[in-house]
Amino acid sequence: MQSTKILVTRYGGAGDMIMMEPVLEALFYKYAPAEVYLRTHPDYADLHQFHPLLQPIVKGILTADQKALPGYASDEKKPQGFDRFYNTTGCVEMNRGIHGTDSFAFSTSAIPFRRTPVMYLDPDVEVQPRDIVIHTPKRGPNSPRNHDFRHYHIPDMVKNHLDKEGIKYESITAIGENSEYEGGLQEMAQTIAGAKLFIGPDSAGFHMAAALGVPHIAAFTSDFPAGIRAYPNTVSTRDTDLADLLQKISALYSAPEGPKSFGPDRVDLLSEKYAYGRTLELESEIGGGGYDLIRISGLLEHEDWRQRLWDYSERLSHGGTIFMYERHGSFDPLLLTKYLILTAGLQVTEYTATPDAYGHFFVAAQKVKRPRNLL
What is the domain-level CATH number for residue 279?
3.40.50.150
8-40, pLDDT tens digit by residue? 999 888 999 999 999 999 999 899 899 999 998
143 has a pLDDT exceeding 60: no
Q: What's 153's domain CATH number?
A: 3.40.50.2300
192-209, pLDDT tens digit by residue? 999 999 999 999 999 999
80 has a pLDDT exceeding 70: yes
- Give the mean model confidence (pLDDT) for residues 259-268: 56
pLDDT recorded at residue 67: 56
Is 264 exposed, middle or buried (CB count within 10 Å of its CB: 0-12, 13-18, 19+)? middle
The pLDDT confidence band at residue 343, using thresholds 50, 70 and 90, is confident
> Does residue 276 fall inside a structural domain?
yes
pLDDT recorded at residue 351: 82
Q: What DSSP character marks residue 86?
A: E
Tell me, yes or no, whether 255 and 144 share the same domain: yes
Report the distance separating Cα 136 and Cα 154, nearest Å.
7
311 has a pLDDT exceeding 70: yes
Percent of the residues in the chain that have a pLDDT greater than 90, as a whole number: 44
CB 46 within 8 A of CB 186: yes
CB 254 within 8 A of CB 260: yes
pLDDT recorded at residue 371: 47
CA angle 215, 350, 209 (to 5 degrees): 30
Q: For 30-186, where are the E strands, in sequence order?
A: 34-40, 58-61, 73-74, 84-87, 132-135, 172-175
> Does residue 140 fall inside a structural domain?
yes
Average pLDDT, the chain: 84
Tell me, yes or no, whether 234 and 290 share the same domain: no
Alpha carbon separation from 345 to 90, 339, 367 (Å, rounded) = 36, 9, 7
CB 317 within 8 A of CB 366: no
Tell me, yes or no, whether 145 and 253 share the same domain: yes
Grouping H, G, I as helix, E, B as strand and the rest as coil, residue 322 is strand
Report the distance separating Cα 20 and Cα 41, nearest Å.
15
Tell me, yes or no, whether 179 and 231 share the same domain: yes
Tell me, yes or no, whether 248 and 152 share the same domain: yes
pLDDT recorded at residue 359: 78
Tell me, yes or no, whether 30 and 92 share the same domain: yes
50-67, pLDDT tens digit by residue? 998 999 998 886 655 555
Report the distance separating Cα 148 and Cα 224, nearest Å.
15
pLDDT recorded at residue 240: 92
pLDDT recorded at residue 144: 47
> Does residue 200 fall inside a structural domain?
yes
Overall number of domains in the chain = 3
- What is the Rg, in whole angstroms, of the alpha carbon atoms belonging to the chain? 21
Higher per-residue pLDDT: 128 or 73 = 128
Element (H, E) at 200: strand 197-201
Tell me, yes or no, whether 208 and 153 share the same domain: yes
> Does residue 125 fall inside a structural domain?
no
Give the end of a domain, one of 199, 229, 259.
259
pLDDT recorded at residue 256: 38
Range scoring the smallest mean pLDDT among 250-254, 281-285, 304-308, 310-314: 281-285
Residue 29: Cβ within 10 Å count: 14
Its pTM stands at 0.76
Tell me, yes or no, whether 332 and 272 share the same domain: yes
What lies within 8 Å, CB to CB, of 63 at 6+ separation is: 74, 75, 76
Q: State the residue range of the domain holding 68.
A: 4-108
Report the distance separating Cα 10 and Cα 88, nearest Å.
5
- State how beta strands 346-351 and 360-367 pair: antiparallel
267 has a pLDDT exceeding 80: no
